[in-house]
Amino acid sequence: MELKGKTVVVTGATSGIGEACARLFAAKGCSLVLAARRKEVLDKLAGELKAAHGIAAETFALDVRSRKAVFAFADELTAKKLVPDVLVNNAGLARGLSKLHEGDIDEWEEMIDTNVKGLLYVSRALVPQMVARNYGHVVNVGSSAGRSLYPGGNVYCASKFAVNALNQGLNIDLVGTNVRATLIEPGMVKTNFSMVRFSGDQSKSDAVYEGVRFLSAEDIADTIRYVVEAPDHVNIQSLLVMPTDQRASFAVHREKK
Ligand code: NDP
Ligand code: 8X3
């Protein structure tokens, strides 16, 4: 796909991988549709990117857990004649690392409602327009946690296994169309992810990344660019992207200070 002038929709664009995607696609001359719950953060980012790159950027306060809000968002895009050329289903989070038999059910529901149901709502609301136009690329942000488990990963991992399954299902259902779908499966990326997982506990969050040459959000945005820029007849259906220092969730090399 030639990116210049294309419309790119990113959920969870206020931080981390979503924000890096917004920055990268703006630099490529794309029109942006940015969605997340913190609209003021999106507005600041959109203002900066419009000024820097002369692109169009729309922002939407959106909680992907709300089916009603997601379909209202889709209606607004339709009213503005905005059909995604690229949809980055990125909004997501982990909460805690409790053992399953000790887990907090509210945290489970937040992860499932965001990572699985939210992604489904956004896909159901926006993919039909892409299919009707017979063109586009859905990028689902899964995780290495959607391939293998680690202690305390239980529900978060299950939610990313679900994203993995949904990406496979979407690809099967899109056969015969020119709409592609890719599962991006990152390992450790230094973003706000661990601060959210550990409810703002800086030392627990820092410990996750200590001594590791982790991935950056920009690394993942660049991977997403790579799959989207592939020729139209090439559909990279899944891509596991790990730090060189991490070969599996449990196989992490940490440089001692
Ligand atoms: P961040 O915490 O930095 O960003 C998460 C983004 O998701 C924020 O923009 C947040 O925006 C948004 N978000 C969270 N809940 C909702 C919601 N209910 N509705 C709309 N937006 C929401 O983390 P990352 O950038 O790391 O995470 C992005 C994706 O990458 C997630 O799906 C995550 O699971 C996945 N991932 C992350 C890895 C990592 O190591 N960091 C590795 C593998 C996958 P706001 O709060 O403003 O709504
Ligand atoms: C985020 C990576 O290993 O913390 O999906 O689950 S991990």
Q: 82 — phi, psi (to 5°)? A: -105, 110
Distance, CA of 114 to CA of 110 (rounded, Å): 6
Catalytic residue among 121, 135, 150, 156: 156
Q: Do 11 and 18 contact (CB within 8 A), yes or no?
A: yes
| pLDDT tens for each residue of the chain, 257 residues long | 899 999 999 999 999 999 999 999 999 999 999 999 999 999 999 999 999 999 999 999 999 999 999 999 999 999 999 999 999 999 999 999 999 999 999 999 999 999 999 999 999 999 999 999 999 999 999 999 999 999 999 999 999 999 999 999 999 999 999 999 999 999 999 999 999 999 999 999 999 999 999 999 999 999 999 999 999 999 999 999 999 999 999 999 999 87
| Residue 79, beta-bridge partner list | none
Please confirm, yes or no, whether 150 is among the known catalytic residues: no
Q: Is the CB of 243 under 6 A from ligand 1?
A: no
pLDDT at site 102: 98
Nearest atom within ligand 1 for CA of residue 14: 9
Q: 253 — phi, psi (to 5°)? A: -90, 125
CA of 32 to the centre of ligand 2 (A): 27
pLDDT at site 1: 86
